[in-house]
A = this chain, B = another copy of it.
């Protein structure tokens, strides 16, 4: 799947992923009105609204980009109907030829991480049948529980030829509260920051599961921390870097150059609100709520240009 991701990035010329993180406040009124008319102001109505909203955006942009990244929290907040919308979104994006990165940030102790891994990336055995739950292509993984919480994901990735992105340096303002702490190596006494230590682990985990040029084990490093991106690019030379925080969170194209390798590969930049709620941005306001999907398309084109310009 990492080979397919690289191939699609080359084909589209777009090292970007669109975050399908539909908050109801982004969904145009004509979409919510129609959903509530059919399902009422219920969880089902909300789920229908975000699904239709997603579908409109995916229809407008799928040919321009290699991948989407639905953030499961935005679906999970609507309970079971929300999870159904999450699954519909995954399946529809697959139909459209897109790679789906499930932004699930799961992570637990061994056997429990194993259950998350099969649920999102693999298959479960039910009697004599082999079935799949959510069936994303990649998932994001939280490393706080250590190697035995990550390894079950790697095992499933090996079997399924799928991948993970491990949280290394997150894009949020307090991402450094623990991740930037200087840690002391128990044996050598060497000091480095926690995110570097985790970056080293990503490199080690990934060396066991290589695609053609990059590993199936990637990393999340926020666009809001370009210097850390530069350091981590060196620490994890084989890891694809998933870069959140571009656009609405403040990251700019010029900040991104160090996340990429010299050939313009090695990183994929996410934008969520900046794309899916583009019509609410002054720059694209002329599209209006009815033209929200076209506004998203225009924002994708602008983002591709910004990033291509930066990584030259």
Interface residues of A (CB under 8 A from B): 21, 23-24, 32, 36, 41-43, 45-46, 71, 73-74, 76-80, 82-84, 87, 105-113, 115-116, 118-120, 124-129, 131-134, 142-149, 167, 170-184, 186, 191, 194, 197-198, 201
Cα distance, A118 to B43, chains bound together (Å): 13
**B142 engages A45 (CB within 8 Å):** no
A74 neighbours in B (Cβ, 8 Å): 112, 115
**B178 engages A144 (CB within 8 Å):** yes
**B167 engages A133 (CB within 8 Å):** no
Given A79-B119, A197-B178: A110 and B146 interface contact (C-beta under 8 Å): no
A128 neighbours in B (Cβ, 8 Å): 41
- Which 5 pairs, one residue from A and one from B, show the smallest C-beta to C-beta distance? A79-B133, A146-B174, A41-B127, A146-B177, A77-B119
* 9 interchain pairs, CB-CB under 8 A: A24-B124, A36-B126, A77-B124, A105-B142, A146-B174, A148-B172, A148-B174, A183-B184, A183-B194
Closest to A176 in B: B146
A198 neighbours in B (Cβ, 8 Å): 178
**B109 engages A171 (CB within 8 Å):** yes
Given A142-B144, A182-B184: A116 and B172 interface contact (C-beta under 8 Å): no
**A119 engages B78 (CB within 8 Å):** yes
Cα distance, A170 to B124, chains bound together (Å): 26
Closest to A135 in B: B79
A143 neighbours in B (Cβ, 8 Å): 144, 178
**A79 engages B132 (CB within 8 Å):** yes
A110 neighbours in B (Cβ, 8 Å): 172
**Of B87, B105, B118, B173, which contacts A148 at CB under 8 A?**
B173
Closest to A119 in B: B77
Cα distance, A43 to B198, chains bound together (Å): 36
Cα distance, A94 to B301, chains bound together (Å): 50
**A129 engages B41 (CB within 8 Å):** yes
Cα distance, A179 to B83, chains bound together (Å): 32
Cα distance, A133 to B115, chains bound together (Å): 22
**B77 engages A87 (CB within 8 Å):** no
Cα distance, A78 to B178, chains bound together (Å): 33
**Of B43, B80, B171, which contacts A80 at CB under 8 A?**
B80
**A146 engages B134 (CB within 8 Å):** no
A149 neighbours in B (Cβ, 8 Å): 170, 172, 174
**B144 engages A167 (CB within 8 Å):** yes
Cα distance, A129 to B32, chains bound together (Å): 13
**B76 engages A87 (CB within 8 Å):** no
**A73 engages B108 (CB within 8 Å):** yes
